Structures are given as C-alpha cells and as structure tokens.
Amino acid sequence: MKILAAILLATALGCGAATEDELVATRADVLELAGAWSNDGFKIRDGHWSGELTAGEPKLVQVNLFAGNHYWFSAAANAQAKGLSIAVFTESGNPVLVEIHADGPRTAVRFSPLVSGPYFVRVSATEGKRAAFCLIYSYK
C-alpha cells in the first residue's frame, strides 16, 4: 500500500527519477558535443559526472585545473530540462569569464585558468524537474 501511495504521489508530482537509459543518452549526447573539441586537440577525460537536475537547484562539482591548460566543460540534459547552462567559479566562489558554446539542449564553456588550483563548475537549468544530465571535460 505504501509503495502504491509512493508511486501515485510521484506520478502526481510528475517527478520520476531519471532512468539509466536517460543518463546513458545524455552521456552519448555530451560526448558527441565534446568530440568537436577533440578535433582541436582537446583530450576528453574518461570520467563523467551525471545525475538529476531540477530548475532552481543547480549542481556543483569541484575540479582541479592547471594554469597553462585550456579546458572545455560540456554538458547535456534530456528534453525535460530547458535553459541548460554551465558556470565556472574560483576557489573563492567568484565567477570567471568563459567562452560559451550553445547548442540546443547541450552547452559548453571554454576556460583557460591563469592560476592552478580548485575551481567549482555549476550546471543549472531554468526549467524542468529531475532531468538527467551529464557533464564531462576536455583539456589541452
């Protein structure tokens, strides 16, 4: 009975969790986008960071970047998410200037740090609930 109630509640709220298939699809999407940077000599890190994204609840991951390298952070989300964006912040939490590449439901930012150290990368959406997303990064 409890399970049935939970299913009904989830259905009513329209907030089904992102499925494995959706997560895999966003990963394939973002790899396709990042493939463009590979043609320019960027290497894609083998790992990825994925999960669910809800509008107004951005996701934040810490990365360690090196002065002298150039980076592309690329993200994709499924159709439930609109207005996907990526922002990069210094270890003090200040935003950095990035070059943005918008490509429909996918987005990417390019950043060349002058200082090595920890940075924060934020992925957010302006609309949508519990949409699957995937972030990867490339460097050269």
Partner 1 sequence: MPRRFLILFLATTAAIAQEPQPSLTKEQMASATMDHILSYPMPGELFAALGKSAKPDWTSFFREPIPTNFTSRQQIAMNLGGLIADGYLAVEATDGQQVKNIARDVRTLANALGVGQNLLNRGNSISEFAANNQWDTLKEELEAAQNEVIAAMNAHDDTDLITFVLLGGWARGTEVITAAIEKNYSAATAKIIRQPGIARSFINKLAALPEKTRDNPLVKKVRLTLFEIHKAVGIPGDSAPTLEDVQKIHALAKTLVGDIAKKEL
Binding site for partner 1 (CB under 8 A): 43, 45-49, 59-69, 87, 89-95, 97-103, 109-110, 115-118, 120, 122, 135-137, 139-140
Rounded Cα gap, residues 98 and 115, in angstroms: 15
Handedness of CA 72, 113, 50, 108 (dihedral sign): negative
CB of 2 to partner 1, least distance (A): 28
Nearer to partner 1, 19 or 126 (CB): 126
* 64 secondary structure, DSSP code: E
Rounded Cα gap, residues 74 and 31, in angstroms: 8
Nearer to partner 1, 55 or 61 (CB): 61
> 36: how many CB neighbours lie within 10 A of its CB?
15
CB of 78 to partner 1, least distance (A): 19
CB of 76 to partner 1, least distance (A): 14
Nearer to partner 1, 70 or 129 (CB): 70
Pair 42, 139: CB distance under 8 Å = yes
